[in-house]
Amino acid sequence: MLRNSISLLFLLSPLVMAAAAPIVIAHRGASGYLPEHTLASAAYAHALGADYIEQDLVMSRDGELVVLHDIHLETTTDVAKKFPDRARDDGRFYAIDFDWAELKTLEVNERINVTTGERVYPDRFPLQPGPVRLCRMEDQIQLIQGLNQSTGRTVGIYPEIKKPAWHAVEGKDPGTALLALLDRYGYREANDPVFVQCFDPAELKRLRFELKTRLRLVQLIGKTEWNESTADYEAMRTPEGLAEVATYAQGIGPHLDFVVLAPNEPPTSLVADAHAIGMEVHPFTVRADSLPDAFPTLAGLMGALHAVGVDGWFTDHPDLTKPDSALTH
Ligand code: CA
Protein backbone atom coordinates (compact mmCIF):
# COMPACT_ATOMS: atom_id res chain seq x y z
CA MET A 1 0.00 0.00 0.00
CA LEU A 2 2.75 2.39 0.98
CA ARG A 3 4.73 1.46 -2.12
CA ASN A 4 1.67 2.06 -4.28
CA SER A 5 1.20 5.48 -2.73
CA ILE A 6 4.80 6.37 -3.37
CA SER A 7 4.69 5.27 -7.01
CA LEU A 8 1.47 7.20 -7.47
CA LEU A 9 3.21 10.26 -6.05
CA PHE A 10 6.06 9.85 -8.55
CA LEU A 11 3.58 9.43 -11.37
CA LEU A 12 1.75 12.58 -10.32
CA SER A 13 4.80 14.70 -9.64
CA PRO A 14 4.97 16.35 -13.11
CA LEU A 15 1.32 17.33 -12.69
CA VAL A 16 1.99 18.69 -9.24
CA MET A 17 4.86 20.78 -10.61
CA ALA A 18 2.73 22.08 -13.48
CA ALA A 19 0.12 23.25 -10.97
CA ALA A 20 2.62 25.28 -8.87
CA ALA A 21 1.13 28.48 -7.51
CA PRO A 22 1.47 31.39 -9.90
CA ILE A 23 4.12 33.96 -9.03
CA VAL A 24 3.29 37.54 -8.12
CA ILE A 25 5.65 39.99 -9.84
CA ALA A 26 5.66 43.46 -8.29
CA HIS A 27 5.49 45.75 -11.33
CA ARG A 28 8.01 48.59 -10.79
CA GLY A 29 7.90 47.56 -7.11
CA ALA A 30 4.69 48.10 -5.17
CA SER A 31 3.93 50.95 -7.56
CA GLY A 32 0.26 51.08 -6.58
CA TYR A 33 1.37 52.50 -3.22
CA LEU A 34 4.70 54.32 -3.67
CA PRO A 35 6.39 56.08 -6.59
CA GLU A 36 7.55 53.45 -9.09
CA HIS A 37 11.05 51.99 -9.15
CA THR A 38 12.23 53.58 -5.90
CA LEU A 39 13.90 51.63 -3.10
CA ALA A 40 10.83 52.36 -0.96
CA SER A 41 8.61 50.78 -3.59
CA ALA A 42 10.84 47.68 -3.80
CA ALA A 43 11.02 47.29 -0.01
CA TYR A 44 7.25 47.59 0.31
CA ALA A 45 6.74 45.00 -2.45
CA HIS A 46 9.00 42.63 -0.51
CA ALA A 47 6.96 43.25 2.65
CA LEU A 48 3.66 42.70 0.83
CA GLY A 49 4.76 39.21 -0.16
CA ALA A 50 5.71 39.58 -3.82
CA ASP A 51 7.62 36.63 -5.26
CA TYR A 52 9.60 38.75 -7.73
CA ILE A 53 10.27 42.49 -7.97
CA GLU A 54 10.56 44.13 -11.38
CA GLN A 55 13.18 46.69 -12.48
CA ASP A 56 13.10 48.54 -15.82
CA LEU A 57 16.61 49.56 -16.83
CA VAL A 58 18.12 52.43 -18.78
CA MET A 59 21.74 53.55 -18.82
CA SER A 60 23.23 56.80 -17.53
CA ARG A 61 25.93 58.74 -19.42
CA ASP A 62 28.58 57.19 -17.18
CA GLY A 63 27.30 53.65 -17.70
CA GLU A 64 25.25 52.98 -14.57
CA LEU A 65 22.13 50.82 -14.90
CA VAL A 66 19.39 53.09 -13.59
CA VAL A 67 15.98 51.72 -12.57
CA LEU A 68 13.65 53.83 -14.69
CA HIS A 69 10.73 52.95 -16.96
CA ASP A 70 11.17 55.64 -19.61
CA ILE A 71 14.30 56.75 -21.46
CA HIS A 72 13.03 60.21 -20.46
CA LEU A 73 13.05 61.68 -16.96
CA GLU A 74 10.34 64.32 -16.90
CA THR A 75 7.34 62.02 -16.40
CA THR A 76 8.50 60.81 -12.98
CA THR A 77 11.13 63.29 -11.71
CA ASP A 78 11.76 67.01 -11.15
CA VAL A 79 14.52 67.10 -13.82
CA ALA A 80 12.97 70.12 -15.61
CA LYS A 81 13.24 72.13 -12.40
CA LYS A 82 16.75 71.01 -11.38
CA PHE A 83 18.37 70.95 -14.86
CA PRO A 84 16.20 73.27 -17.01
CA ASP A 85 18.80 73.70 -19.77
CA ARG A 86 19.54 70.01 -20.33
CA ALA A 87 16.65 69.03 -22.63
CA ARG A 88 17.39 67.88 -26.17
CA ASP A 89 15.95 69.74 -29.19
CA ASP A 90 12.72 67.73 -28.86
CA GLY A 91 12.20 69.29 -25.42
CA ARG A 92 12.74 66.01 -23.57
CA PHE A 93 15.24 65.13 -20.84
CA TYR A 94 17.05 61.85 -21.50
CA ALA A 95 18.54 59.84 -18.63
CA ILE A 96 21.44 58.91 -20.93
CA ASP A 97 22.55 62.59 -21.01
CA PHE A 98 23.16 62.64 -17.22
CA ASP A 99 25.76 61.08 -14.96
CA TRP A 100 24.55 59.06 -11.98
CA ALA A 101 25.83 61.76 -9.59
CA GLU A 102 23.31 64.12 -11.21
CA LEU A 103 20.48 61.62 -11.51
CA LYS A 104 20.62 60.74 -7.83
CA THR A 105 19.81 64.33 -6.89
CA LEU A 106 16.41 64.14 -8.61
CA GLU A 107 13.20 63.71 -6.65
CA VAL A 108 10.86 61.02 -7.92
CA ASN A 109 7.15 61.73 -8.16
CA GLU A 110 4.07 59.78 -9.12
CA ARG A 111 3.76 59.45 -12.91
CA ILE A 112 2.28 62.47 -14.67
CA ASN A 113 1.10 63.00 -18.23
CA VAL A 114 3.59 65.63 -19.41
CA THR A 115 1.16 66.97 -22.02
CA THR A 116 -1.70 67.65 -19.62
CA GLY A 117 0.20 67.86 -16.33
CA GLU A 118 -2.39 65.48 -14.85
CA ARG A 119 -1.57 62.49 -12.68
CA VAL A 120 -1.93 59.13 -14.43
CA TYR A 121 -3.28 57.42 -11.28
CA PRO A 122 -4.96 60.16 -9.24
CA ASP A 123 -5.53 58.23 -5.99
CA ARG A 124 -1.97 57.03 -5.46
CA PHE A 125 0.90 58.49 -3.41
CA PRO A 126 0.85 62.32 -3.27
CA LEU A 127 2.87 64.43 -5.70
CA GLN A 128 5.95 66.53 -4.83
CA PRO A 129 7.60 67.27 -2.57
CA GLY A 130 8.52 63.63 -2.28
CA PRO A 131 11.00 61.83 -0.03
CA VAL A 132 12.10 59.27 -2.64
CA ARG A 133 14.91 59.18 -5.20
CA LEU A 134 16.05 57.22 -8.24
CA CYS A 135 18.16 54.13 -7.65
CA ARG A 136 20.44 51.84 -9.61
CA MET A 137 19.99 48.14 -10.32
CA GLU A 138 22.85 47.42 -7.93
CA ASP A 139 21.04 49.31 -5.14
CA GLN A 140 17.90 47.25 -5.70
CA ILE A 141 19.83 43.98 -5.69
CA GLN A 142 21.54 44.91 -2.41
CA LEU A 143 18.17 45.89 -0.89
CA ILE A 144 16.37 42.73 -2.01
CA GLN A 145 19.21 40.38 -1.07
CA GLY A 146 19.45 42.12 2.30
CA LEU A 147 15.73 41.73 2.93
CA ASN A 148 15.93 38.12 1.80
CA GLN A 149 18.52 37.52 4.52
CA SER A 150 16.71 39.42 7.27
CA THR A 151 13.29 37.91 6.52
CA GLY A 152 14.38 34.41 5.51
CA ARG A 153 12.30 34.67 2.31
CA THR A 154 13.73 34.43 -1.21
CA VAL A 155 12.28 37.14 -3.38
CA GLY A 156 13.56 37.20 -6.95
CA ILE A 157 14.41 39.99 -9.36
CA TYR A 158 12.88 40.57 -12.78
CA PRO A 159 14.95 43.16 -14.71
CA GLU A 160 13.88 44.50 -18.12
CA ILE A 161 16.36 45.91 -20.63
CA LYS A 162 14.65 48.99 -22.09
CA LYS A 163 15.14 49.88 -25.76
CA PRO A 164 18.46 48.08 -26.38
CA ALA A 165 18.60 49.14 -30.06
CA TRP A 166 18.22 52.80 -29.07
CA HIS A 167 20.91 52.40 -26.40
CA ALA A 168 23.24 50.86 -29.02
CA VAL A 169 22.78 53.90 -31.29
CA GLU A 170 23.71 56.05 -28.28
CA GLY A 171 26.84 53.93 -27.78
CA LYS A 172 25.64 51.96 -24.75
CA ASP A 173 25.21 48.23 -24.05
CA PRO A 174 22.93 47.70 -21.05
CA GLY A 175 22.53 43.97 -21.75
CA THR A 176 26.21 43.16 -21.27
CA ALA A 177 26.38 45.42 -18.20
CA LEU A 178 23.35 43.69 -16.68
CA LEU A 179 24.74 40.19 -17.12
CA ALA A 180 28.04 41.25 -15.52
CA LEU A 181 26.22 42.84 -12.58
CA LEU A 182 23.99 39.81 -12.07
CA ASP A 183 26.99 37.50 -12.19
CA ARG A 184 28.70 39.60 -9.52
CA TYR A 185 25.70 39.11 -7.22
CA GLY A 186 25.40 35.37 -7.82
CA TYR A 187 22.69 35.21 -10.48
CA ARG A 188 24.12 32.84 -13.08
CA GLU A 189 21.99 29.75 -13.58
CA ALA A 190 18.51 28.88 -14.85
CA ASN A 191 17.33 28.03 -11.33
CA ASP A 192 18.55 31.29 -9.77
CA PRO A 193 15.68 33.63 -8.73
CA VAL A 194 15.82 35.93 -11.74
CA PHE A 195 14.05 36.38 -15.06
CA VAL A 196 15.53 38.79 -17.63
CA GLN A 197 12.87 40.34 -19.86
CA CYS A 198 12.87 42.44 -23.01
CA PHE A 199 10.49 43.46 -25.80
CA ASP A 200 13.26 43.18 -28.39
CA PRO A 201 13.79 39.59 -29.62
CA ALA A 202 17.16 40.52 -31.17
CA GLU A 203 18.50 41.48 -27.73
CA LEU A 204 17.22 38.30 -26.07
CA LYS A 205 18.82 36.20 -28.82
CA ARG A 206 22.09 38.09 -28.30
CA LEU A 207 21.98 37.40 -24.56
CA ARG A 208 21.32 33.72 -25.19
CA PHE A 209 23.55 32.92 -28.17
CA GLU A 210 26.34 35.53 -28.18
CA LEU A 211 26.70 36.39 -24.49
CA LYS A 212 25.76 32.80 -23.59
CA THR A 213 23.70 33.51 -20.51
CA ARG A 214 22.12 30.54 -18.77
CA LEU A 215 19.52 32.70 -17.00
CA ARG A 216 15.82 32.39 -17.81
CA LEU A 217 14.72 34.87 -20.45
CA VAL A 218 11.21 36.23 -21.03
CA GLN A 219 10.01 37.67 -24.33
CA LEU A 220 7.59 40.54 -23.75
CA ILE A 221 4.74 40.71 -26.23
CA GLY A 222 3.13 44.12 -26.64
CA LYS A 223 1.15 45.84 -29.33
CA THR A 224 3.10 46.42 -32.53
CA GLU A 225 2.02 50.10 -32.64
CA TRP A 226 3.88 50.78 -29.36
CA ASN A 227 7.12 50.63 -31.39
CA GLU A 228 8.96 48.90 -28.55
CA SER A 229 11.11 47.19 -31.22
CA THR A 230 10.85 46.36 -34.92
CA ALA A 231 9.33 42.94 -34.10
CA ASP A 232 5.93 41.86 -35.43
CA TYR A 233 4.15 40.97 -32.19
CA GLU A 234 1.05 39.64 -33.96
CA ALA A 235 3.15 37.02 -35.72
CA MET A 236 4.96 36.30 -32.45
CA ARG A 237 1.66 35.29 -30.80
CA THR A 238 0.92 32.52 -33.31
CA PRO A 239 2.03 28.93 -32.58
CA GLU A 240 4.79 29.33 -35.20
CA GLY A 241 5.94 32.59 -33.62
CA LEU A 242 5.94 31.06 -30.15
CA ALA A 243 8.01 28.11 -31.40
CA GLU A 244 10.65 30.60 -32.55
CA VAL A 245 10.57 32.39 -29.16
CA ALA A 246 11.04 29.04 -27.41
CA THR A 247 14.44 28.64 -29.09
CA TYR A 248 15.86 31.42 -26.88
CA ALA A 249 13.37 32.15 -24.05
CA GLN A 250 11.72 30.22 -21.22
CA GLY A 251 8.62 32.36 -21.07
CA ILE A 252 6.50 35.13 -22.53
CA GLY A 253 5.15 38.29 -20.93
CA PRO A 254 2.09 39.23 -22.98
CA HIS A 255 -0.33 42.13 -22.54
CA LEU A 256 -3.45 41.03 -20.64
CA ASP A 257 -5.60 41.64 -23.73
CA PHE A 258 -3.85 38.76 -25.50
CA VAL A 259 -4.67 36.32 -22.67
CA VAL A 260 -8.17 36.96 -21.30
CA LEU A 261 -11.08 38.68 -23.06
CA ALA A 262 -13.91 39.15 -20.55
CA PRO A 263 -15.45 37.46 -17.50
CA ASN A 264 -17.10 34.14 -18.40
CA GLU A 265 -15.74 34.28 -21.95
CA PRO A 266 -13.30 31.66 -23.20
CA PRO A 267 -9.69 32.89 -23.09
CA THR A 268 -7.45 33.17 -26.14
CA SER A 269 -5.34 30.13 -27.03
CA LEU A 270 -2.09 31.91 -26.12
CA VAL A 271 -1.55 30.29 -22.71
CA ALA A 272 -2.38 26.81 -24.01
CA ASP A 273 -0.14 27.31 -27.05
CA ALA A 274 2.79 28.48 -24.88
CA HIS A 275 2.32 25.71 -22.31
CA ALA A 276 2.21 23.12 -25.10
CA ILE A 277 5.84 23.94 -25.90
CA GLY A 278 6.94 24.28 -22.27
CA MET A 279 6.96 28.05 -21.89
CA GLU A 280 5.72 30.01 -18.89
CA VAL A 281 3.27 32.90 -19.29
CA HIS A 282 3.44 36.06 -17.12
CA PRO A 283 0.96 38.67 -18.43
CA PHE A 284 1.06 42.40 -17.62
CA THR A 285 -0.27 44.50 -15.86
CA VAL A 286 -2.89 43.95 -13.14
CA ARG A 287 -3.80 47.30 -11.57
CA ALA A 288 -6.59 47.34 -8.98
CA ASP A 289 -7.26 51.03 -9.74
CA SER A 290 -7.08 50.74 -13.54
CA LEU A 291 -8.71 47.50 -14.67
CA PRO A 292 -9.13 46.49 -18.32
CA ASP A 293 -12.43 47.81 -19.76
CA ALA A 294 -13.84 44.30 -20.13
CA PHE A 295 -13.31 43.47 -16.42
CA PRO A 296 -15.33 45.62 -14.00
CA THR A 297 -13.86 43.94 -10.90
CA LEU A 298 -10.43 42.76 -9.78
CA ALA A 299 -11.96 39.47 -8.64
CA GLY A 300 -13.32 38.89 -12.14
CA LEU A 301 -9.95 39.53 -13.74
CA MET A 302 -8.07 37.35 -11.25
CA GLY A 303 -10.64 34.59 -11.66
CA ALA A 304 -10.08 34.61 -15.42
CA LEU A 305 -6.28 34.51 -14.99
CA HIS A 306 -6.52 31.59 -12.56
CA ALA A 307 -8.93 29.76 -14.88
CA VAL A 308 -6.65 30.05 -17.91
CA GLY A 309 -3.70 28.89 -15.81
CA VAL A 310 -1.10 31.62 -16.21
CA ASP A 311 2.17 31.09 -14.32
CA GLY A 312 2.29 34.56 -12.78
CA TRP A 313 1.37 38.18 -13.38
CA PHE A 314 2.88 41.63 -13.22
CA THR A 315 0.91 43.80 -10.82
CA ASP A 316 1.06 47.25 -9.22
CA HIS A 317 -0.76 45.71 -6.20
CA PRO A 318 1.05 42.54 -5.11
CA ASP A 319 -0.98 42.14 -1.91
CA LEU A 320 -4.40 42.34 -3.58
CA THR A 321 -3.51 39.82 -6.29
CA LYS A 322 -1.77 37.14 -4.23
CA PRO A 323 -3.30 33.73 -4.94
CA ASP A 324 -4.50 33.51 -1.31
CA SER A 325 -5.92 37.03 -1.21
CA ALA A 326 -9.62 37.14 -0.38
CA LEU A 327 -10.03 39.76 -3.08
CA THR A 328 -8.97 37.41 -5.86
CA HIS A 329 -11.73 34.86 -5.20
CA1 CA B 1 8.65 46.68 -17.44
Q: What percent of the chain has pLDDT over 70?
A: 92
Q: What are phi and psi of 58, to 5 degrees?
A: -125, 165
Q: Where in the sequence numbering do the catalytic residues fall? A: 27, 69
d(CA 68, ligand 1 centre) in Å: 9
Please report, for the chain, the start and end positions of each structural domain, with discontinuous segments joined by +.
Answer: 23-71+133-323
What's the pLDDT band for 20 if we cut at 50, 70, 90?
A: confident
d(CA 198, ligand 1 centre) in Å: 8
pLDDT tens by residue, 273-324: 999 999 999 999 999 999 999 999 999 999 999 999 999 999 999 999 998 7
Q: How many Cα neighbours within 13 Å face the side chain of 283?
A: 25
Task: Report the candidate in 147, 124, 116 with the shortest Cα–Cα distance to residue 33.
Answer: 124
d(CA 309, ligand 1 centre) in Å: 22
- CATH class, 23-71+133-323 region: alpha beta
What's the pLDDT band for 6 if we cut at 50, 70, 90?
A: very low
Q: What is the mean pLDDT of the chain?
A: 93
d(CA 158, ligand 1 centre) in Å: 9
pLDDT tens by residue, 253-277: 999 999 999 998 999 999 999 999 9
